[in-house]
Amino acid sequence: MSYVPSASRYDSMKYNRCGNSGLLLPAISLGLWHNFGSVDVFDNGRNIVHRAFDRGITHFDLANNYGPEPGSAEENFGKILKKDFPGYLRDELIISSKAGYLMWPGPYGNWGSRKYLISSLDQSLQRMGLEYVDIFYSHRPDPETPIEETMMALDSVVRQGKALYVGLSNYNAEQADKAIQILKSLGTPCLIHQPKYSMFERWVEGGLLDVLEKHGVGCIPFSPLAQGMLTDKYLKGIPEGSRAAKEHGFLQEKDITPERLQKIQKLNELAKTRNQSLAQMALSWLLKDKRITTVLIGASSVAQLDNNIDSLNNIDYSESELKAIEDILT
């Protein structure tokens, strides 16, 4: 059966202006970092994308190396677009990709050179079957390449019609400030910054958010649930098959300390008083800050996706709730 989008898909989603730009993004965006690769079940990913769009998520975030295998998330997303999203629906989607991590062997398949970034975007467009992406990111700063070269590459892809906007990811406050100023001088303003940010990862509060606010740049935190720690998954320890139980994952068993477990349990009790799951509270806690445009979630099932989107039902916090959260986290 062919996919027919819900006619009411825009009725309940909240959309926020991205910095000083003209672009509105959904308060929740879907990232395809996990669960959309060649090792995953294609129809599950396809159903998640359908449900996301039906609930008003218009922004789908990828990168050249998402998989595994690297590149396969873009390939699978391209298949979903071709099967289920006819040409006119492309105008209702915000599709982003990135380059900056190792993608192919040799000296030109990593970091931030002009050669790598432009070649990578060409490959990403081919994998997804697109003429352009809406947002193209420098995935991380390159300590060996002049930041001017990296920013000039971003400017070039916009002028070539391969991207509508550009963004940064994993740049600290000082690096972001310099990059944003260079992009502005080139005539291609930075649209958005994608940092790692959650209740357990708060480095952005040490200056980056102030830089973004000063320049009118949006912010889209990734890993808002701290790789699943800010969910009910780890309330009773480390379950078999979870990310922390895997030997080579981004979340390691050593990260789930008794002290961290105690904080997770206390946060969960507080979430209950707000009639939210722990994940819903963790997402809405980020969105309480007006400098946050949208929060980037992952999903392994439609049910998990729905639970996360429902965080938007309560994004208001009392002073006492905020204090209670800080008391737990500190």
Confidence at residue 57, expressed as pLDDT on a 0 to 100 scale: 98
SS3 164: strand
CA 213 to chain centre: 19
pLDDT at 236: 72
17 forms beta bridges with 24
- Give residue 253's pLDDT: 64
Spelled out in words, what is the top-level CATH class assigned to the domain 15-329?
alpha beta
The strand pairing partners of 65, in sequence order, are: none
Q: What is the largest CA-CA distance in the chain?
A: 54
How far, in Å, CA of 213 to CA of 292, rounded?
A: 10
Specify the 3-state DSSP secondary structure of 209. helix
Say what the pTM is. 0.94
Render each residue's pLDDT in the chain as its tens digit; 330 residues: 789 999 999 999 999 999 999 999 999 999 999 999 999 999 999 999 999 999 999 999 999 999 999 999 999 999 999 999 999 999 999 999 999 999 999 999 999 999 999 999 999 999 999 999 999 999 999 999 999 999 999 999 999 999 999 999 999 999 999 999 999 999 999 999 999 999 999 999 999 999 999 999 999 999 999 999 999 988 876 666 555 545 555 555 667 788 999 999 999 999 999 999 999 999 999 999 999 999 999 999 999 999 999 999 999 999 999 999 999 999
Tokens 């070269």 -> residue:
149
Cα distance between residue 100 and residue 151, in whole Å? 13
Instruction: Supply the pLDDT for residue 314.
Output: 97
**pLDDT for the residue numbered 239:** 62
What's the DSSP call for residue 15? Answer: E
CA distance 176 to 156: 19
Q: How far apart are the first and last CA of the chain?
A: 51
Q: Parallel, antiparallel, or unpaired: how do β-strands 28-31 and 190-194 relate? A: unpaired
